[in-house]
Amino acid sequence: MKLLTIFLNEKKKYDADMERMEEELGALKQTQEAEENVQDGSVRKAEQALMFLEEDELTEDMKEKLIEKVVVYPGNRIEIVWRFEEHLKNKV
């Protein structure tokens, strides 16, 4: 009986460790998926930017993807609000 009790106690410890490790693995997988999504988005943006570099003039597609809005002020002054401006602020 003593060996059975030892075995059952060790099994409980093992089961608890396995459950904890499975939870940690699940959390790590979620983190990895989130990072991969961010990375995929960055790659797509970089590819799009490279395509834009080949253009000689602003196309409608470029305008839609790059410019949030254009504000016109008196005295022929304009302000362009870029869609990616927040990314530039974080990098500087």
Question: Whole-prediction pTM value?
Answer: 0.46
CA-to-CA separations, 35 to 28, 41, 42, 51, in angstroms, rounded: 10, 10, 11, 24
pLDDT score recorded for residue 87:
54
> What are 41-84's pLDDT values in tens digits?
788 877 877 777 888 888 888 888 888 999 999 999 999 998 87
Residues 46, 62: one domain?
no
Q: Does residue 34 share a domain with residue 5? A: yes
Q: Is the pLDDT of residue 39 over 90?
A: no
pLDDT average, residue stretch 10-39: 94
One domain, residues 6 and 32? yes
Identify whether residues 45 and 11 lie together within a single domain: yes
Same domain, 49 and 64: no
The parent domain of residue 50 ranges over 1-54
Q: At CA 68, angle to CA 64 and CA 70, rounded to 5?
A: 105
Kind and range of the H or E element at 53? helix 2-53
Backbone angles phi, psi at 79, to 5 degrees: -130, 130
Q: How confident is the model at residue 92 (pLDDT cuts 50, 70, 90)?
A: very low
> Do 47 and 68 sit in the same domain of this protein?
no
Q: Are residues 61 and 83 in the same domain?
A: yes
